[in-house]
Amino acid sequence: MSRCIPIALLTALFVGWSSVAKADVVPFIAILNGPTEVPPVPSAGTGFAQITFDTLAHTMRVQVSFSGLTSGTTASHIHAATPLPFFGNAGVATTTPTFAGFPLGVTSGTFDSTLDLTQASSYNPAFLTANGGSIAASEAVLFNASLTNQSYLNIHTANFPGGEIRGFLRLVPEPSSVILMGIGTAGILGFGVRRLRRNPR
């Protein structure tokens, strides 16, 4: 009977993840801070980013807000793919030297822009070369790195040219997926409670 619990949990997770994988619009979030940099940066600066891929339109919307940086911004972009999820450094994947229109020379600000992932100009030329010069392959690598928590957005400043704050992209499940997973978890907990009542230790 105890095997039912992991099977039910895996089923709930599969239902949730499969519905996200089929979505056309796939949102990610990232919490930006200094300790996430490698090596860690002693900065009180913080930021938040939402990255939204549209897999049908082949676009990526980048929304960023940040504050408390120690000096003026010099660049911002997304890096991929790190050797491990949530750890390590990687080369720049998106536009260099920075996102077009990103606020520079400031310690706080906001940014909202959409990249056309079918255009070579949306990528770092070195990232394209590393993926055989293929735009389609580069888009796939960037998207998959985000799905596996191996891409991050960071903000570079004059004091920290290697990056002052950064955050790894994390998938935001659809509301329906969260509900399904919640129902599955509630069922699992209910099953466990009933078993304990029947077989107290």
Distance of CA 88 to CAs 94, 100, 171, Å? 18, 26, 19
Pair (142, 193) in one structural domain: no
Pair (128, 155) in one structural domain: yes
C-alpha span between 94 and 86 (Å, rounded) = 19
User: Mean pLDDT throughout 17-27?
Assistant: 65
Pair (55, 124) in one structural domain: yes
For the CA atoms of 64, 68, 71, 74, the dihedral, rounded to the nearest 10 degrees, stands at 0
Pair (132, 97) in one structural domain: yes
C-alpha span between 73 and 104 (Å, rounded) = 5
Pair (53, 78) in one structural domain: yes
- pLDDT digit string (tens) for 73-82? 999 999 999 9
Q: What is the pTM of this model?
A: 0.77
Residue 38 half-sphere exposure toward CB, CA atoms < 13 A: 14
| Domains held by the chain: number | 2
Kind of pairing, strands 165-168 and 170-171? unpaired
Residue 172 Cα to chain centre, angstroms: 9
Tokens of 181: 């997973």
Pair (66, 137) in one structural domain: yes
Q: What is the mean pLDDT of the chain?
A: 85
Pair (30, 77) in one structural domain: yes
User: Mean pLDDT throughout 12-38?
Assistant: 74
> pLDDT tier at 180 (50, 70, 90 boundaries)?
very low
- pLDDT digit string (tens) for 135-177? 999 999 999 999 999 999 999 999 999 999 999 999 998 654 4
